[in-house]
Amino acid sequence: MTSLTRRILPLLLLCALTISASPAQTQSQTPAQTPDTGISIPAMDPAVRPGDNFYLYANGGFIARTKLPADRAAIGVFSVLSDLSFKQTASIIEDAAKANAPAGSDERKIADLYHSYMDESAIESHGLAALKPHLAEIAAIHNPRELAHALGLTLRADVDALNNTNFHTANIFGLWVAPSFNDPEHYAPYFLQGGIELPNRDYYLADSGSMKEIRTKYRTHIAAMFRLAGLSDPEARAIRVLAFETAIAKQQISLADSEDIHKANNPWHAADFTAKAPGLDWPEFFRAAGLDKLDTFIVWQPTAITGEAALVASQSIDGWKDLLAYHVIEAYASSTSKALADERFAFFGTTLSGTTQQRPRDFRGDVLVSATLGDAVGQLYVKRFFSPEAKAQAEAIVANLIAAFRVRLENITWMAPATKKEAITKLGTLQVNIGYPDHWRSYTGYEVKPDNLFANLWGASLFDYRYALSRIGKAVDRKEWCMTPQTVNAVNLPLDNGLNFPAAILQPPFFDPKAPAAHNYGAIGTVIGHEISHTFDSEGAAFDSMGRVRNWWTPEDLPHFNTVTSALAAQYDTYTPFPDLHVNGRQTLGESIADVAGLAAAYDAFHASLKGSLAPKVDGFTGDQQFFIAFGQNWGGVTRDAALRQQVLSDPHAPGEYRALTVRNEDGWYNAFDVQPTDKLYLAPKDRVRIW
């Protein structure tokens, strides 16, 4: 995986159709904020010394009072705000469902898709019958050419594919269409590793007792899915599928290695695939996938593609048929039958994440509609919930953050003039989009039926795939967003040299026009700073101001950067959420760099916004204290152990507890809270990581 759609959201497991509590439940677990205060005083634990455990100091009260409902894997500030966004989105979908919108309109599609999810009797009547023809097509495969055709026919694309360690489809490969590494003015097709259902390869290969137990339960789950879908010999099929996915996992590369952009830039001509990845009938694969007219692809993980293609020759056709059948059943479980959907949740929700109960069905329906018809819902969302005034104030904060970064870049002493000039140029051409895109995606051609969820989801997958194919070779639309306005998140797009801040994250507690500047800069300001800093971090540094992969560092500058950031990786390696599992500092390095740099720039921007005045105290807290507490409270949360383990193993973000400890590297934090060498979090000035 890489993070070319770079996100700040920690893994809170808000899986669209599996996990989380209703908004009412979540809100009841969240301490109310003091009316005139940006920071939440009840969320804090003043008994904890800030220099010993700043995370608990800022969030101890919240953690002590928060009990996870059965349908939640985690609760934190991000999930609370996500629940608010979903509640807002639900009002839009419910209104559309009640209205009699014209056939073919976006509002009618929203209504019909929601109805199809809520009509459980129709799912029971039609779902399995709709699945069986696809299973029959797989069962009819008899030779390698037909297998290659089937693999090409099931290839799918996702604009957000790179936020996953591997690409989860019925295929062993994933397709991502984005600006080319080497020609950022035009879209190119990227090939990625895929073909496994567990979060990443470690779940198949790790020797620990917990992983072995998961694999045993996974095999039982696979057998149950085959049985519920009406296939024979489910136990034997499950054994073969698990062995097959393990063979695929052995070919894949790690998340940390996937984040090296220079290793990912591997242009292959179509003719190269047969020589470099023998085993698969590539011409037939490309023909079935609609890619036979293309000449060049960028292969992200070439060793994985080569290894996975070789499995076509080394594995039996029957093994492939079992694998493809299982993946199709898994992908469409929610639209096939309640029994299949419940079994899927029992494993992926309960076993992998520790959640014992699903979210209410109407909530899951809202999530599905918002994800499938994102821009259609988003247009209505911003009209109702995002004011021009909020947009203007957020834009002002962004401008101040960019100005702070410019000053920091200009004052860097270790960077050569040529490198510094390139960095400032890149900052100057950074395209920042607030709230929502300038234009919206059309859903013309996507047919939605009010009583056939399976057909709607199958059609949506094909619609998105064809949309992706239609962009290949065309001029890049740098105003296009990769997330919807109702998404609580933010993103840096190095291929576009751009940032997106959706409307939904620009709400309390991250952003409140009525809150003190100290809070807004400590909360949303550090988020904005985080995203800006990705422009220059361990991956952003690989792209120039035009989004082209190009090394713009002098030979002397890059080793300095690598030395400093290696120290940060080592710092995170010391964080151990479980006795047998520590944070992988290299895996989380890009996000950790962004946290450090974003915090420092937001602190500067906060002080610049005061224009020489002293920030007012609130409840006895100075402006600087409010700023750092607001940052710490961004990351407060409670997470089930299973979900936390999954995050540490498969997410490029460190757990929130350790992201809050970024303050250890900021001199202002030491002064604000009188942190002394005897405090547990104290770092000597020479050991504090300073990057920009």
Predicted local distance difference test score (pLDDT) of residue 29: 35
Predicted local distance difference test score (pLDDT) of residue 392: 92
- Sheet with 498-502, strands from edge to edge, namely 6-7, 491-493, 498-502, 431-435
- Alpha-carbon torsion 398, 499, 592, 511, what sign? positive
d(CA 421, CA 409): 9
pLDDT class of 172 with cuts at 50, 70, 90? confident
Mean pLDDT across the stretch 184-209? 93
pLDDT tens figures, 672-686: 999 999 999 999 999
- Reported as type and span, the H/E element at residue 433 is strand 431-435
pLDDT class of 35 with cuts at 50, 70, 90? very low
DSSP state of 522: I
Query: What are the backbone angles phi and psi of residue 500, rounded to the nearest 5°?
Result: -125, 130
**Any idea which residue has 């696979």 for tokens?**
222
Q: Which residues contact 457 (CB under 8 A, 6 or more apart)?
A: 332, 334, 335, 372
Higher pLDDT, 30 or 637: 637
Contacts 24+ apart (CB under 8 A), 129-137: 130/335, 130/336, 130/452, 130/454, 130/455, 130/458, 131/229, 131/328, 131/329, 131/332, 131/336, 131/454, 132/230, 134/328, 135/229, 135/231, 135/325, 135/328, 135/329
Predicted local distance difference test score (pLDDT) of residue 164: 37
Predicted local distance difference test score (pLDDT) of residue 158: 59
pLDDT tens figures, 627-660: 999 999 999 999 999 999 999 998 999 999 999 9
* Residue 230: how many other CB atoms lie within 10 Å: 12
pLDDT class of 538 with cuts at 50, 70, 90? low
Mean pLDDT across the stretch 126-137? 95
pLDDT class of 45 with cuts at 50, 70, 90? very high
26 pLDDT above the threshold of 50:
no
Predicted local distance difference test score (pLDDT) of residue 551: 82
Q: Of 158-162, 412-416, 453-457, 604-608, give the lowest mean pLDDT range.
A: 158-162
Mean pLDDT across the stretch 34-61? 89
231 pLDDT above the threshold of 60:
yes
Q: Which residues contact 105 (CB under 8 A, 6 or more apart)?
A: none
pLDDT tens figures, 327-357: 999 999 999 999 999 999 999 999 999 999 9
Mean pLDDT across the stretch 201-229? 96
Predicted local distance difference test score (pLDDT) of residue 692: 81
Higher pLDDT, 106 or 25: 106
- Reported as type and span, the H/E element at residue 639 is strand 637-639
DSSP state of 501: E
pLDDT class of 37 with cuts at 50, 70, 90? low
Mean pLDDT across the stretch 601-613? 95
Predicted local distance difference test score (pLDDT) of residue 21: 28
Mean pLDDT across the stretch 578-583? 94
Mean pLDDT across the stretch 209-225? 96
Predicted local distance difference test score (pLDDT) of residue 625: 98
Predicted local distance difference test score (pLDDT) of residue 205: 95
- Reported as type and span, the H/E element at residue 595 is helix 589-609
477 pLDDT above the threshold of 80:
yes
d(CA 423, CA 410): 9
Q: Which residues contact 588 (CB under 8 A, 6 or more apart)?
A: 569, 572, 651, 652, 653, 654
Domain locations along the chain = 162-358
Q: Of 96-100, 455-459, 534-538, 684-688, give the lowest mean pLDDT range.
A: 534-538
Predicted local distance difference test score (pLDDT) of residue 556: 85
Mean of pLDDT over the chain: 90
**Any idea which residue has 């049985």 for tokens?**
227
Mean pLDDT across the stretch 280-285? 97
d(CA 456, CA 454): 5
The matching CATH number, chosen from 1.10.1380.10, 1.10.150.120, 3.20.20.70, 3.40.50.300, for 162-358 is 1.10.1380.10
Q: Hey, which residues does 194 pair with through a beta bridge?
A: 167
pLDDT tens figures, 516-536: 999 999 999 999 999 999 988
Q: What is the pTM of this model?
A: 0.86
